[in-house]
Chains A and B, each alone.
Chain A
Amino acid sequence: MSSILKIKGVSKTFGGFTALSNVSLEIAQGERFGLIGPNGSGKTTLINCVSGALRNEAGSIEFDGEDVTRLPAYQRTRRGIARSFQVPRPFHSMTVAENLTVPLEYIAHKGSLHVADTHAEALDLLRQMKLADKADTPSRNLSQVELRKLELARAMAARPRLLISDEAMAGLSGSEVEEVLEILLALNAKGITIIMIEHIMQAVMRFSQRVVCLDAGRIICEGAPAEIVKNAEVQRAYLGA
């Protein structure tokens, strides 16, 4: 399988703190990839570097054969890297449907001015996320699980080829986790590569084909989910055996 994302020797420091040191990773086209690690291990920093919210000091990031290391975030989104945020960041002055029209307008329909079309498309996406009944609700009135779904729906509206889900299930109940998991699996079935960052181990284990564990900005282990849970270092650093 060909790689859609190549992370080569990426390092990122904040002042004297090293958040990522020399991280290299390849994600295959269509893969379901899990990223785990304790709090502060650099998971979100890594995906911030991939999505362009942060610039890495060393190393390069290649998406679909193109070096995107120096591109601003919006350019990367337009090329097909979309993400959800760990702490939901809805456009709170807009309704749920309007939240989706922003990426639809700026990416899918760039240059055309047919707001009506984007609205129909937004509704379609919301239906897939089982959020259609909330289309005209102001996004500030949503519940936690609805906000998480909105994050994913808005990321999907950018028509990504790589979707990064940053703790989309944190703080959700068992049945809600199940719901989000199903959504992600369905998206992957459509050919979208997915990187899942998650603390809920059952979800990561069920979802991922391959898992990487970060600790203090380094990759300490990589492998199939079953191997990961047995790995001594992962148990020490993260699972707490």
Chain B
Amino acid sequence: MKFWIGAALVLALGVGLPFLPINEYVFYAGYVVLTFVVLATAWNILGGYAGYVNFGPPAFFGIGSYAAVVLFKSLNAPLVVQIAGAALMGGLLGLGVGAMTLRLRGIFFAIATVAITFILETLMVNWRYVGGATGLQLLRPPVELYASYTRMLFAVMVAMSVGAVAIARYIQTSWLGRGLRSLRDSEEAAEASGVPTLKLKLFACAVSGGLMGAAGAPMPMYLSFIEPASTFNLSYTVGSLGGAIIGGMAHWAGPIVGAILLGTLQQVVTVTISNEMNVLVVGVLLVVFVVAAPEGILGLARKVFRR
């Protein structure tokens, strides 16, 4: 109950804030941070709960972006439909990746997910309809309600974040989450305890992929542009993994804390120092956390408060 009140408050705040006369940049940067909240939360469903490290968030994010562009260009579909289509494509790709878990574990699974990113990027580079390598300029439809398209997208992303977190929280606290945890600890023992490991892995991959796809859907409209190199950029991998690892992977709140912290820091460093420096900062933070606090900020906080 407490969770739902909190979720409703965040949602109300997210939808209401863009009406206020606040500097446009806040929403411009906030949108990116929220994208990483969704990505890290989605990544954690497979990576944190089930223990399958997915290095391919750009593949899911990118397939979502391109699905949205195709829907927009061919049918002039509204944003909601674009997001739904993107989630569907991400989910389907997730099922494919889930099937790979039959044979691939650990580092081999991780490498395969990187390969999928490159394959998809190459496909899009060679697909004329969506602009190929040079990309495609997109004309934003007019916005109602909000003063600008960016403000509207910010509200949409807040809603998506709340939705993603609610899904992740449900999975974590239900029998699904306990099943995923058991297979992360030992797949053989999980099977021997009656856990249908393959079905659960497919489910986790599909949900995780679907959410990442959905997160990618508004990006082309946000930029008014799409092209393969930035859409399938590995920085999405770093953002998703980094958010989850820095925040803590055992709890649904971890990726939120991590992604907000990391995303905000990245925005600040990009603006005040340089874009290159921001990559360095993320790298250093990741190393520090993996070595000094493998359970993330949440794990650290738990230790401190127990004392």
- Chain B residues within an 8 Å CB radius of A158: 192-194
Nearest A residue (CB) for B250: A93
C-alpha gap A92/B184 in the complex (Å)? 10
Interface size on A, as a range, is 20 to 34
CB–CB B189/A90 < 8 A: yes
CB–CB B191/A102 < 8 A: no
| Partner among A72, A89, A105, A110 whose Cβ is within 8 Å of the Cβ of B178 | A105
- Chain A residues within an 8 Å CB radius of B250: 93
Given contacts A72-B198, A113-B175, contact A77 B185 (CB under 8 A): no
Given contacts A74-B194, A158-B194, contact A91 B175 (CB under 8 A): no
B-side interface mostly? helix
- Chain A residues within an 8 Å CB radius of B189: 85, 89-91, 154
Interface size on B, as a range, is 20 to 34
- Chain A residues 171-192 with CB under 8 Å of chain B are none
CB–CB A91/B191 < 8 A: no
Interface flag for A83 (CB, 8 Å) = yes
Interface flag for B188 (CB, 8 Å) = yes
Given contacts A85-B189, A89-B189, A105-B175, contact A77 B182 (CB under 8 A): no
How many A-B contacts at CB < 8 Å in the complex?
Answer: 82
C-alpha gap A110/B196 in the complex (Å)? 12
Interface flag for A234 (CB, 8 Å) = no
CB–CB B185/A53 < 8 A: no
CB–CB A90/B185 < 8 A: yes
CB–CB B192/A82 < 8 A: yes
Interface flag for A31 (CB, 8 Å) = no
CB–CB B188/A102 < 8 A: no
CB–CB B194/A91 < 8 A: no
CB distance from A46 to the nearest CB of B (A): 15
Interface flag for A98 (CB, 8 Å) = yes
Interface flag for B186 (CB, 8 Å) = yes
Given A74-B196, A83-B192, A107-B193: 20 more A-B contacts, CB < 8 Å: A53-B188, A53-B191, A74-B193, A77-B192, A77-B193, A77-B194, A82-B192, A89-B186, A90-B189, A92-B185, A93-B181, A102-B190, A102-B194, A106-B196, A107-B194, A110-B194, A113-B175, A154-B189, A155-B192, A158-B193
